[in-house]
A = this chain, B = another copy of it.
C-alpha cells in the first residue's frame, strides 16, 4: 500500500500538483477558484493525504521541529509540565517537539545540523560557538539561565537568585539575624544551589546581617542531624535556615525532630517548591512556590512569539511567579 502523495490528490481532483500545493498551503499570491479549492480539499480528505515532512523539509531547508535541549540533571515534575505546554502550543502551529538530553559524548551540533529544526530551546545556556553557528544557520535560539545575555536572562526560568532572596528576607523579617543555608549535595544541581545561595548572601549583606552558614545536606537523616548540630554549635547560633528545596527542608525537619528540637521554636525552616507533601509535614512547611505551571506557560509563549518573528516581548519581572507560602515552620 503505497503512501498517498500530492500527485495522487492532483490526479484525483483533476488539477496539477502545483495547484494542490497552493490550495493545501493557502499560498498567499495564488488565485484559485473557490470551487477548485473545494475539490482539491475534498480529494485530499478522501484519500487521507498527509504531506511528507521529509520532502517538505528538504525543499524548504528547515524542518517543522523544535529541538528542546534538556540538561544533565534531574528536573523533577517541571519537565512534564514544560513539555506538555510547549508541545501543545507547538502542535497548534504544526510543529513538533524533539527532545535531546545533553550528556557527555553526545554533541548537540550533530543533531541540529542533521535535523535543522525551526528553533532550539535550551534549559541551560548554549556555548557561544553553538549559539553563533545555529543563528547563522537561521535557527532560532532560545536559551535559559544565561546570565551573560541580558536579553535572554530569565526569560523562562525564575531567577534562582530571587528565590534565595525571598527566603532570607522572610527569615530576617520574622526576627532571625543569623541564618543557615542547607545546600543539596547532588552535583548535577550545583548551578542552582550556587545561584540560590548567592541570593541569600546578597540579602544578608544588604540587611547588614552575617553571611549564611552553609551546611551540606543530602537526603538522609544522619546528614540532616549533623547539619542541625553544626548550626546549633555555631557562634552565634543559627536560629533559622533556608533549604535548597522542600526535599531538603523535609529532611531537616526530621533531623530537628530526631534531636528533640522543633521548628520554628528552635530553628525555623523555609523550603522551595511547595511540593504536595509540604502542607502535611510536622509542622507544615513554609516554602517558596515557583509556579511551574505559570512558568511553563510563559516559556511556551516566548517560544511561539519567537517563531512568529515577533520581537521577544521582554517577559515580566521574574519575581512575579515566585510566591512565599507561609505555613508554620518559619
**A residues touching B (Cβ–Cβ < 8 Å)?**
1, 3, 48, 50-55, 57-58, 61, 63, 65, 70, 74-77, 79-80, 83-84, 87-88, 91, 96-101, 103, 106, 109-111, 113-116, 136-137, 219, 221, 247, 250-251, 253-254, 257, 275-277, 279-282
* Residue on B nearest A96 in the bound complex, by CB: B98
User: A275 to chain B: which residues have CB within 8 Å?
Assistant: 277
Is A80's CB under 8 angstroms from B76's CB? yes
Cα distance A3–B254 in the bound complex, in angstroms? 58
**What are 16 A-B contacts with C-beta separation under 8 Å?**
A1-B137, A48-B113, A50-B113, A50-B114, A54-B57, A55-B58, A74-B77, A87-B100, A88-B103, A91-B100, A91-B101, A91-B103, A97-B98, A251-B280, A257-B282, A281-B281
Question: Shortest distance in angstroms between A86's beta carbon and chain B's nearest beta carbon?
Answer: 9
Nearest CB in chain B: distance from A235 CB, A: 29
* Neighbouring B residues of A75 by C-beta, 8 Å: 80
> Copy number in this complex?
2
Of B77, B99, B116, B257, which contacts A87 at CB under 8 A?
B99
Q: Chain B contacts of A3 at CB under 8 A?
A: 61, 113, 137
Hey, which chain B residues are within 8 Å of A101, CB to CB?
A: 83-84, 87-88, 91
CB atoms of B136 and A111 under 8 A apart: no
- Judge whether A83 and B99 touch: CB under 8 Å: yes
A277 touches B257 (CB 8 A): no
Q: Which of A91, A110, A253 has the most CB of B within 10 A?
A: A91
Residue pair B250, A50 in contact (C-beta under 8 Å): no
Q: Which of B79, B96, B109, B280 contacts A100 (CB 8 A)?
A: B96
CA of A77 to CA of B103, assembled, Å? 19
Closest to A224 in B: B280
* Smallest Cβ-Cβ distance to A112: which chain B residue: B50
Cβ of A53 and Cβ of B282 under 8 Å apart? no
Asked if A53 and B83 make an inter-chain contact with CB atoms under 8 angstroms apart, the answer reads: no
A116 to chain B, nearest CB (A): 7
Note all chain B residues with C-beta closer than 8 A to A277: 247, 250, 275, 277, 281
Are A63 and B54 in touch, CB under 8 angstroms?
Answer: yes
Provide the bound-state CA to CA distance between A110 and B96, in Å: 11
B221 and A280 within 8 A (CB):
yes
Is the beta-carbon distance between B279 and A282 smaller than 8 angstroms? no
Q: Is the CB of A1 within 8 A of B136?
A: yes
Contacts of A52 in B (CB 8 A): 58, 114, 116
Chain B positions within 8 Å of A63 at CB level: 53-54
A100 surroundings in chain B (CB, below 8 A): 87, 91, 96-97
Kindly provide the distance from the CB of A135 to the nearest chain B CB, expressed in whole angstroms. 11
Bound-state CA distance A53–B53 (Å) is 11
The answer for the CA separation of A251 and B103 in the assembled complex, in Å, is: 37
Q: Across the interface, which residues of B come within 8 angstroms of A54, CB to CB?
A: 53-55, 57-58, 63, 116
Give Cα A83–Cα B221 distance, bound, in whole angstroms. Answer: 31
Partner of A111 from B55, B58, B96 at Cβ < 8 Å: B96
Q: How far is the CB of A137 from chain B (nearest CB, A)?
A: 8
Q: Which of B80, B87, B91 contacts A74 (CB 8 A)?
A: B80
